[in-house]
């Protein structure tokens, strides 16, 4: 495993790319309304990135080994779609939940983040609770990031909180190192045992992006070769931030003016209950 330790100059470039990714989500939020199609959201995000930010949408034509090129500029995962949902003609309805996953390339560096949206601002109690618990899982994982900790500490915090609240953690997909490449080492699992896994070191940059299901953890791939859904068709939620390991802890790079603030307990130093 070859894990990049980023230089101060690279870190500054990553700060810019990650802020820009988050600002795409700030821009698109007002458009996530009943009646809009996911391909219209994709078009708006694409145009904003290319024409306003002058960034490159990293997902467009992305083709890792074994995959055909991804056809759109964002991922839009609605209701029981876990991740990598391909935007299309489906119109969002009030009460739907949708994850919009944005990765931009700016000056050769990738910024990667995603948020959940409840369409019409009002979903079922289960949907709203799932989105909330998944958000807490994200920040519990982030709270474990510091030099000398282990990747298993992140996964354990996420898994424990999700399962304590009656939800399950998707095993097949994980967070990842990021920088000049879209996906690098290390892999950051969202389950695990404390004190295990790779030691976290200053200068690492990686994503934490838990995918939490309301039902069972099992997933399936649709015939398009990209879209991942829950096998039992239960709801799924995901939040994602890109995180830098600092000398004393961590810095969340994918923050912007419209980004939801961390849970109040993050500032108090305590954990979620």
Give residue-wise pLDDT tens across range 121-152.
888 999 999 999 999 999 999 999 999 999 99
269, pLDDT greater than 90: no
271, pLDDT greater than 80: no
Domain 8-259, CATH 3.90.230.10 — does that match?
yes
Give residue-wise pLDDT tens across range 165-175.
999 999 999 99
Strands 168-169 and 211-213, bridge-based pairing: antiparallel
Say if CB 239 and CB 113 are below 8 A apart.
no
Half-sphere exposure of 268 (CA within 13 A, CB side): 6
Sheet of strand 175-177, all strands in order from the earlier edge strand to the far edge: 184-188, 175-177, 205-208, 241-245, 250-252
Global pTM reads 0.95
pLDDT at 265: 82
Give residue-wise pLDDT tens across range 14-49.
999 999 999 999 999 999 999 999 999 999 999 999
Beta strands in the chain (DSSP E): 56-57, 75-78, 81-83, 97-106, 109-118, 168-169, 175-177, 184-188, 205-208, 211-213, 219-221, 228-230, 236-238, 241-245, 250-252
Cα–Cα dist 45/43, whole Å: 5
Q: What is residue 256's three-state secondary structure?
A: coil
DSSP string over 188-218: E-SS--TT-SSBP-TT-EEEE--EEESS-S-
Q: Residue 187: which residues within 8 A CB-CB, separation 6 or more?
A: 174, 175, 176
Give residue-wise pLDDT tens across range 212-232.
999 999 999 999 999 999 999
272, pLDDT greater than 60: no
Classify residue 84 as left (phi > 0), alpha (psi -120 to 50) or beta.
left
């Amino acid at each position: 495993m070859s894990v990049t330790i980023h230089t101060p100059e690279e870190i500054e470039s990553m700060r810019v790319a990650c802020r820009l990714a988050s600002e795409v989500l700030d821009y698109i939020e007002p458009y996530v309304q009943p009646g809009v199609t996911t391909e219209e959201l994709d078009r708006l995000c694409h145009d904003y990135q290319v024409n306003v930010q002058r960034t490159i949408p990293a997902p467009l034509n992305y083709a890792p080994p074994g995959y055909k090129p991804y056809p759109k500029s964002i991922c839009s995962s609605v209701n029981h779609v876990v991740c990598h949902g391909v935007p299309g003609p489906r119109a969002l309805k009030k009460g739907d939940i949708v994850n919009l996953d944005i990765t931009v390339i700016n000056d050769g560096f990738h910024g990667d983040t995603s948020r959940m949206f409840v369409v019409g601002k009002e979903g079922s109690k289960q949907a709203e609770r799932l989105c909330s618990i998944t958000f807490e899982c994200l920040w519990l994982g982030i709270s474990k990031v510091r030099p000398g900790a282990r990747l298993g500490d992140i996964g354990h915090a996420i898994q424990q909180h999700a399962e304590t609240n009656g939800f399950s953690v998707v095993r097949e997909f994980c967070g990842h190192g990021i920088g000049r490449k879209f996906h690098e080492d290390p892999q950051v699992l969202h389950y695990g045992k404390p004190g295990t896994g790779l030691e976290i070191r200053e200068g690492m940059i990686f994503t934490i992006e838990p995918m939490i299901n309301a039902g069972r953890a099992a997933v399936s791939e649709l015939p398009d070769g990209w879209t991942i859904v829950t096998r039992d068709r239960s709801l799924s939620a995901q939040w994602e931030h890109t995180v830098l390991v600092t000398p004393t802890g961590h810095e969340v790079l994918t923050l912007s003016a419209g980004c939801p603030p961390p849970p109040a307990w993050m500032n108090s130093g305590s954990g979620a209950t």
